[in-house]
Amino acid sequence: MHELEPMSRTGYNRLMKELERLETVELPEVQQAVATAREEGDLKENGAYIYGRQRQGHIVGQIGELKGKLNRADIIDCTKVECDRAVFGTVVSLLDLVTKEKVTYQLLGPDDADFDTGSISVHSPIGRCIVGHSVGDKVSVKVPAGDRNLEVIDIARPEVD
């Protein structure tokens, strides 16, 4: 049995929407294209048929992967998480002790995280390093750009999940 993976309601809804799109739009379109190509005869040298079957297999694989992620999802209401320490769903502000730069991240699961919108995975190097720490704690983390020395300066709930 697979372990449950924490996921925000927003992340869960996004994956559900993607699953629905694949099942109701992408898969029927490619199935129709394969059926049309099959009617053209000689399947061994029919590029449209071969490509369509490969694409269909890829979409079916994506559907299976999404269903697996959704089945393992432990949906967390990020607006109700405790803020005494950094945990899944919290918004954590960090101070780089060398550059004095302040950064803020929401800690989410690997399928939720989007660095461009200010969220990182709890499984990322920084995420793993700060989970469980409280305001005032200093941590050192090894990232691809080198070692970073950080201090947790704030932990809060997000305004929306």
Domain boundary among 46, 75, 104: 75
Q: What is the mean pLDDT of the chain?
A: 93
- Domain range for 29: 5-75
**Does some domain include residue 114?**
yes
Domain count, the chain: 2
Does the pLDDT of residue 22 top 70, yes or no? yes
pLDDT at 1: 56
Question: Residues 117-136: what's their mean pLDDT?
Answer: 94
**Hey, what amino acid is at 105?**
Y
pLDDT score recorded for residue 3: 86
For 34-76, give the secondary structure using H, E and C.
HHHHHCCCCHHHCHHHHHHHHHHHHHHHHHHHHHHHHHCEEEE
Same domain, 90 and 145: yes
pTM: 0.81
Does residue 54 sit in the same domain as residue 83? Answer: no
Q: Is 127 within 8 Å of 120 (Cβ atoms)?
A: yes
Q: What does the pLDDT read at residue 120?
A: 95
